Structures are given as C-alpha cells and as structure tokens.
Structure 1
C-alpha cells in the first residue's frame, strides 16, 4: 500500500479551484534542487528540528535501536544509520520536534472518505483532488486505478502531478480517470536532465507525447532553475518542442525557490553543494515572452 506524507487541504496551486492534494512518498528521480526531499525515499523517515531541541533527553531511552545519544557537549544526536524510523522518539518528545514522515497508509475507501469531506469546496470552486508526491505514478498501479476510478465516479475532478517517469502501462490505466495532467519537464537536453535528476528524459518525453496524441488535458510545468535550464536558448527550444509536438497547451514556468532547504537539515542531509540561484522576476518574464514568441498562447509564471 502506498505511503502518504501529507494530505494538504485548500490547495490553490495544484490545479484549478480549491483542491486537496495527496502527497505520496517515493520518486524515481533525484532532482538536485528538490524542495520536497522527504518525498524522495519510499520508506518512512525521521525528521528532526534540531534548532528547537531543548536537550531534555526524553528521546534517548525511548529509542529501541539505541540510535539517540548525547554528544560531548550534552546535545542530542541521532545516528541515522541505526534509526529504524519507528516513531518511538517522536512519541516521547515533549516539544514535538521529532516526526516520522511517510508513515500514513490508507486503504482506498478510507482515503476517498477523507477526500470527499471537501466535496463542497471542490464543487463551489471548480476544484478537486490532485495526486502528487514524490511521484504519484511510482505507486501501486492497482491502488492508483481504484482511487482515480472511484473519485471519477463520484464526479470529482482528478489531477495527476507527475514527473512522467513511469511505465506506459500505468499511464494507460489511469488515462480514462485523470482529468488533468500536471506534467513536469525539467530539461529538454537529455544530458542535462540526467546530470541533475539521475535519469534521462526519453521515457518522460515519450509518455508526454503519448498523452498529447490521445487528447489528454495537459499543463506542462517547467521548474526554472539557474544554471540548469534558465537560458533563453534552453527555454526557446523547449517551447518550440511543446508547440510543435505537444500542442498549444498551458505552460507554467515555475521559478526555483529555497523554501525546502530546511527540510534537508531536518532529514540529517546536506543541501546539494551545487549552487542554484533564484531567477529574477524580469528574467522570468523574458522567458515567458520567449515561449509566447514560439507560438504558445497560455504561458504563466508560477501556478
């Protein structure tokens, strides 16, 4: 059964209207700039807000793996290699600075029941449910198909937020029940894509073209990250590809941000040493105009 690390209600950036977004854990890509690093691994993980730790020591005896101790200065330290992410330390922490992310697993019927609690907001705003991650298409296909079919049967608009790296079978099985595909394209250049995400983009583009050829509703989303893909030539080439091969679909240019950097520390990981810069608003507008110049008529910054 898939693991969920967040169910975010009243979301307004994951498709039209007011939405409830289900964030599944596990992703086949390892984007160097990922702002949800807790979504990458499929298994549960411990997150610790060490800056708020008062070193009370309640977590030390609670850990069955003896992964928590004090250092020479009396501070609480966690041996990540020994941690089993069981949650005992989180239960014992009076300050609430320890949590296990990805420990929620729900049968389809229970998840649907939670999601339908927001039906009134979906209907009034033209919203619905968005499946995200991590990577929603990296989850069990039978679970996903039942979930999407059930929501679709209830008249709920379903969006899939995906990196596109998934077996074709999964895309085929979900196609009848997904109303909108929020489809990430990180880089058109295969070498650049492989360098910064750990995987080539050929299967991603192939799935995107498959969906376009079958008339799926697409919103191509491009995370704009300097110096990965923010060059004017990069965006011009990508825009030309979208217009000529995918069609005049909505394109969202998503400027890189650093909001997720604190999550790396909470996971006991270092932020990627490569320098990524936030693109200036003027540059983003220039890229938007380049996309329009390539024949795309619905181009937004953000979204």
Structure 2
C-alpha cells in the first residue's frame, strides 16, 4: 500500500493554478528553503502547530489538553507554547474556542478516496476547462506510488491534471507522472547556481535537467518565475532566463509572480523568524518593463501574477 503524505490545504474553485476552475491539493514538505517563501508551513514534512496570538484570549482551555505540558501561563497571564516540548499532536486545537490554534499537516486519505473527493468537482472542471492541480510544498517530493495512483485515477476519469513543481525531484518521479500530467507549472527561481544555492539551499542542476527532460518529452510546460528583489529581478538575470527558456523549452507561457509579504504572519504563528529582511516587491512599473523585456527575447505569452 502506498504511503500517505501530509496535506495542509485543499483549495476548491482556484483560478490561479492552471486553466479553468481547479481544485488544488497542497502537499506538505519541500526540499527547498526559499528565503522568500510565503507558505512556511509547507516546508516541513512533519505536522506543525500554528498559534495566532492575536486571536488567543488566554482562556487556558488548551493547558489541560496538552499531554506534553508544553503550554503554560506566564507571569503576565498570557498563555504560551514552548516549542521545545510541543510535538504537534494537535490535542490543543479542538479545545481552543477562538480558533487560535491550527495543525498544519494532516495525513492524506487513501489515493482512491482523495480522487473521489476531487471528482466531486468534476462539473466545474468540465464547464470551465479546469481540473486538479497538485502543489505544495513540493508534490514531487511525496511518495511516488501514492502520486502515481492519484494521477492515474484522475487521468482515467478524464480530469485535467497539472503538476505545480520546483523541479527538484528524482527523474524517476517525473517519468512516472509524465503519462498522466496534462500541464507542468514549473518554477524557475534563478539560473545562477550560486544565487540559487544561497537563496533556496540547493543547486539548480537537477531542476534544469528535469525541465530539459520534460521539454524533450513534449510535455506542456508553463514557466513560473517568482520575481524577488534583489535576487532575480535585474534585467541581466531576466535576459539570461529568457535565453535559457527559448533555447531549451521554446516559447511557453511565462507567469511572473511578484514577491509579496502576505505570508509573514505565518512565520510568527509557527514560532520561527521569517528572516526576509532585504527582499522587496518589485514595482508595477518594473514588472511591466520585465514583460516587455521578455517579449523582446521572444517570450510573448507572459502574464503577471498567474
């Protein structure tokens, strides 16, 4: 039996993860540590407790519920969680009357059961030309037997399947999903390997190799570029990316995704330092310049914030 990964969200009626109306499954766990990540709860392969201190009224209902004794009331009367003792069991979540506690990451149902749940939205897929998108975290870092069964079932039911990936995965995982994936939403963060290592924690060699393999295999690819100042928003870096894409992939649709800070609060709820000082969102004028620049390089199908 295929192992079941963790899921931290299933988003219905999504319009930003491929064509039409889609249901997007967000798997938990990613091999990258992008310094600008706006979904930090997606990174760990283990469940994590998120605490919204702004919602907490320090009622104390969670204290008795915690089997680890990780929750205590401070001298100021406020209830706090000691992350050193918390094992993210989730026992405190159901006892919070203010919904200030949330467990990020729960075991996925069996692949066949998840497919049935996703197929409940088939009517919306068919009417809009939509389907199911597997995302993350990094979906390709999950158990490949589980993913293959899920994708094969959806494919056999005539559902459009999109894979949203950073590309850092074993080639065998890509090969096994290739027959069932109708679209690959492929992230390119930085072509300079040193920059990529410094800002994501891994080399981009495997990512670029898998992208070239997909292109050679005739897969339908959409390139997604998170635009982050000062990481990759310079004209020189963008021209290099355009040259690489046109040479290795052709002229696919490109989505430029401007950096934003909406995920900053999630770091606080996880009890970790966001460490995002120095990053800035590019201006609307700069994004327009990048679109024109890509068009000059032959990439004319470009959208902002897709």
TM-score of the pair, normalised by structure 1: 0.99
Structure 1 equivalent of residue 170 of structure 2: 167
In the alignment, what sits opposite 2:181? 178
Alignment partner, residue 122 of structure 1: 125
Matched residue, 1:214: 217
Alignment equivalent of 1:108, drawn from 106, 111, 131: 111
Q: Are 1:135 and 2:138 matched, yes or no?
A: yes
Matching residue of 1:4? 7
265-274 vs 213-222, which deviates more? 265-274
Retained in 1: the 8 A contact 2:230–2:280? yes
> How far apart in 1 are the matches of 2:276 and 2:206?
28
Q: 2:27 aligns with which of 21, 24, 43?
A: 24
Instruction: List per-residue Cα deviations over 1:12-36 (Å, max 9, x = no partner).
Output: 0000000000000000000010011
**In the TM superposition, what is the alpha-carbon distance from 1:72 to its structure 2 partner?**
1.5
- Paired with 1:267 and 1:273, the residues of 2 have a C-alpha distance of 15
- Offset from partner CA, 1:116-154 (integer Å, 9 cap, x none): 010000000000000000000000001011110000000
2:44 alignment partner in structure 1: 41
Structure 1 position 269, deviation (Å)? 1.0
CA RMSD, 1 decimal: 0.7
Unaligned runs of 5+ in 2: none
Aligned equivalents of 2:43, 2:274: Cα separation in 1: 14
Inter-partner Cα distance in structure 1 for 2:61 and 2:278: 38
Paired position in structure 1 for 2:82: 79
**Among 197, 203, 207, the residue aligned to 1:204:** 207
**Cα distance, 1:98 vs structure 2:** 0.4
Equivalent residue in structure 1 for 2:198, among 168, 191, 195: 195
Instruction: Find out whether 1:301 has 2:304 as its counterpart.
Output: yes
Aligned to 2:263: 260
User: How far apart are 1:274 and its partner, in Å?
Assistant: 2.8
CA distance in 1, matches of 2:146, 2:283: 41
Paired position in structure 2 for 1:231: 234
In structure 2, what is the Cα distance between the partners aligned to 1:273 and 1:138?
Answer: 25
Q: Distance in 2 between matches of 1:147 and 1:132?
A: 13
Deviation at 1:272, TM superposition (A): 1.1
Shift of 1:297: 2.1
2-structure distance, mates of 1:146, 1:113: 12
Q: How far 1:94 moved relative to its partner?
A: 1.2
Give the drift of 1:81.
1.4
Moved over 6 A (4+): none
Aligned residue in 2 for 1:56 = 59
